[in-house]
Structures are given as structure tokens and as C-alpha cells.
């Protein structure tokens, strides 16, 4: 941990005042109100030591980082059958693209693009009596943290502006790969995207994707070892949409971003690290977040390769 701390402090100081060429997401109006200068980092090692700098204890909109949590719960329910509904191939396209769905007969390329995450939400709506309530309970239980909530304003803001997601959901339903009412599925999708967490909380909740940490506080396993490895594999190949190759190339860890500016990355043998900086690059990933992680894994020589 001492080496990680030193490197985090040093890279944080180097990047704090750089000229960030990114832009805060404003296609969801409520997200545009965030202070773009926020910058926080938190690491939790597999022996549960934690260290953070900057705005690591401020809540922010985790957006697509929540897609790891929804995938985890759906995978628990369905096992390998899940892959009949959603594929595990990188899409090489933007996160909100409709392009490939027609040729692929409504089967999304992977669970981390919006199309795939909407199908995952449909799976969860089929399994859960009260999806919004039970999904929050799942997140709270696996992290032993009762302080995880939706932001209703953000969910509502996306509901009124999320035309592409409405289109995706209807289009997939036309192929029969959405079983429930589209309004119910979208309401659930917009809510899980609106979850707010801090960098510290995120670096703790995803410890179940590191080796030997798959259990909750009661000692029950969250995923099997094979399932956890597979989620890491999808994060590595699909976690950053059409920039997934770039992230693997520069950072070398499984990871997942969200348009709130958060990035979570896992070193399966060592730690979970989270960075938050709201300005996004052209592909919708945090500009400074990616740069930070590139420098961090380089200086600590801790990529998975």
C-alpha cells in the first residue's frame, strides 16, 4: 500500500492543474450542473486497506459504472443462459449506438453498451418483484453500505431527454428480446444509472471482482470464481465502448467508465481503484481519469500484463 499511496499522491499533484481538454456530459441536463474541477481517487487493496486523495468522498452520478452491478445480479439469476440474450463481443461503436442491432437481430454485442444494459434491466425486471427497491438492497448488501441511493432528479432528467435509449428499447423489443413493458424497463434503467456513490464506496463495492473476495459479509459468495473472471474479461474488452482497446493498451486493467466521469479499474490480484473527474473525452470516458490510471499502472508496474 505504501508504494500505491506515494504514486497516487504524486500523479494526483501532476494532473491536478493540467489543461483538461474534456467536456462535462450535458445531454442529460442534470449532469451539467456538476463542478468540473472535481478530482478524486480511491484505492482499496484486497486486504481491505483504503487510501484516497482529492474529492474521493464526494458522491457523484455513477451512470454506466452501474452496468457492472446490474450484470452481476442478472448473471447470478440466469447463469450462462444470460448469453443467449446478450453477447460478449466488443462493439467498436459508441455506447448509445443503434447501428449493429438490426444486423444482429436485436441481440446487443455486450452488456456494457446501452443496448446490452437495457436487455440486462429487462432480465432483472422479470426476476424482481420490486426492481428498484431490490436492486438497491443488493448493492447495499454486497458492499455492507446502507448509504447507496438513486438520485431522482437525475433519473427524471434522463427520462425526459433519453430519446436514444427509448429508441433502443423499442427496437430491441421489436425483435422479441425485451419481454417486459418498455416504460418499466427504461424507468429501471434510468434509475440504476442515477445511483450516486463516492470513489471510496466504489473502490470497496467492486472488491468482489478481485481474487478471493467474492463473498458478502455473511460469507455467501456473490459470484463464482469463473463468473467473476468472466465479468473482468468483459470489462477489459468492452468497458470503454469504442475506446476499450485504448484503455487496455494504455492502462492494462479491466475497467468501466460512466458519463458522470467515474472510472473503476480492477487488478484481480491486488486492488480496486476508482478515479472521478467529470470532463469527458470524445468517446465519453473521463479524460483525466484515463490519464491518471495510465500513469498509475505505469509507475507501479501493476497492469495485468
In the complex, the residues that contact ligand GLN under the rule CB under 6 A are 63-64, 95-96, 114, 158, 165, 193, 258-259, 284
| Closest separation in Å from C-beta 118 to ligand GLN | 9
Annotated active-site residue in 75, 150, 189, 287: 189
Cβ contacts of residue 166 below 8 Å, gap of 6+?
Answer: 182, 186
| Residue 40 backbone phi and psi in degrees, to 5 | -140, 155
By beta-carbon proximity to ligand GLN, the closer residue of 55 and 242 is 242
Place of cell 455467501: 220
| Closest separation in Å from C-beta 158 to ligand GLN | 6
Query: Is 259 an annotated catalytic residue?
Result: yes
Residue number of the CB closest to ligand GLN reads 64
Is there a contact between 250 and 85 (Cβ–Cβ < 8 Å)?
no
By beta-carbon proximity to ligand GLN, the closer residue of 231 and 280 is 280
| Closest separation in Å from C-beta 167 to ligand GLN | 12
| Closest separation in Å from C-beta 65 to ligand GLN | 7
Query: Is 67 an annotated catalytic residue?
Result: yes
By beta-carbon proximity to ligand GLN, the closer residue of 157 and 302 is 157
Q: Identify the helix (H) or strand (E) that includes residue 249.
A: helix 244-250
| Residue 157 backbone phi and psi in degrees, to 5 | -60, -40
Annotated active-site residue in 259, 264, 271, 295: 259
Beta carbons within 10 angstroms of residue 18's beta carbon: 10
Q: List, in sequence order, the alpha helices (H) in the chain.
A: 2-16, 66-78, 99-103, 114-127, 131-143, 152-161, 163-174, 182-193, 199-205, 225-238, 244-250, 287-300
By beta-carbon proximity to ligand GLN, the closer residue of 143 and 165 is 165
Q: Which residues are catalytic?
A: 64, 67, 189, 241, 259
Amino acid at each position: 500500500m505504501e508504494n500505491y499511496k506515494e504514486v497516487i499522491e504524486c500523479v494526483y499533484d501532476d494532473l491536478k492543474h493540467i489543461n483538461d481538454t474534456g467536456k462535462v456530459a450535458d445531454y442529460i441536463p442534470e449532469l451539467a450542473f456538476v463542478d468540473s474541477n472535481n478530482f478524486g481517487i480511491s484505492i482499496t487493496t484486497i486486504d481491505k486497506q483504503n487510501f484516497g486523495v482529492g474529492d474521493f468522498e464526494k458522491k457523484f452520478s455513477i451512470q454506466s459504472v452501474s452496468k457492472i452491478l446490474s450484470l452481476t445480479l442478472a448473471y447470478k439469476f440466469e447463469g450462462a443462459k444470460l448469453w443467449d440474450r446478450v453477447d460478449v463481443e466488443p462493439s467498436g461503436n459508441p455506447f448509445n449506438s443503434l447501428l449493429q442491432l438490426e444486423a444482429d437481430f436485436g441481440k446487443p454485442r455486450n452488456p456494457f453498451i446501452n443496448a446490452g444494459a437495457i436487455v440486462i434491466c429487462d432480465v432483472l425486471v422479470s426476476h424482481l418483484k420490486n426492481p428498484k427497491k431490490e436492486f438497491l438492497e443488493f448493492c447495499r448488501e454486497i458492499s455492507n453500505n446502507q448509504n447507496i441511493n438513486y438520485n431522482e432528479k437525475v433519473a427524471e432528467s434522463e427520462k425526459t431527454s433519453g430519446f436514444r435509449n427509448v429508441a433502443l428499447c423499442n427496437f430491441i423489443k421489436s425483435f422479441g428480446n425485451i419481454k417486459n413493458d418498455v416504460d418499466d424497463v427504461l424507468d429501471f434503467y434510468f434509475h440504476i444509472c442515477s445511483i450516486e456513490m463516492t470513489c471510496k464506496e466504489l473502490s470497496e463495492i467492486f472488491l468482489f471482482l478481485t481474487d478471493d473476495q467474492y463473498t458478502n459479509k455473511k460469507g455467501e459468495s456473490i459470484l463464482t470464481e469463473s463468473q467473476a473472471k468472466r465479468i473482468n474479461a468483459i470489462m477489459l474488452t468492452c468497458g470503454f465502448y469504442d475506446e476499450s482497446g485504448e484503455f487496455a493498451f494504455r492502462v492494462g486493467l479491466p475497467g468501466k467508465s460512466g458519463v458522470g466521469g467515474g472510472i473503476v479499474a480492477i487488478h484481480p490480484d491486488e486492488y480496486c481503484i476508482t478515479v472521478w473527474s467529470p470532463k469527458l473525452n470524445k468517446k465519453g470516458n473521463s479524460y483525466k481519469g484515463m490519464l491518471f490510471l495510465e500513469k498509475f499502472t505505469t509507475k507501479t508496474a501493476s497492469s495485468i500484463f
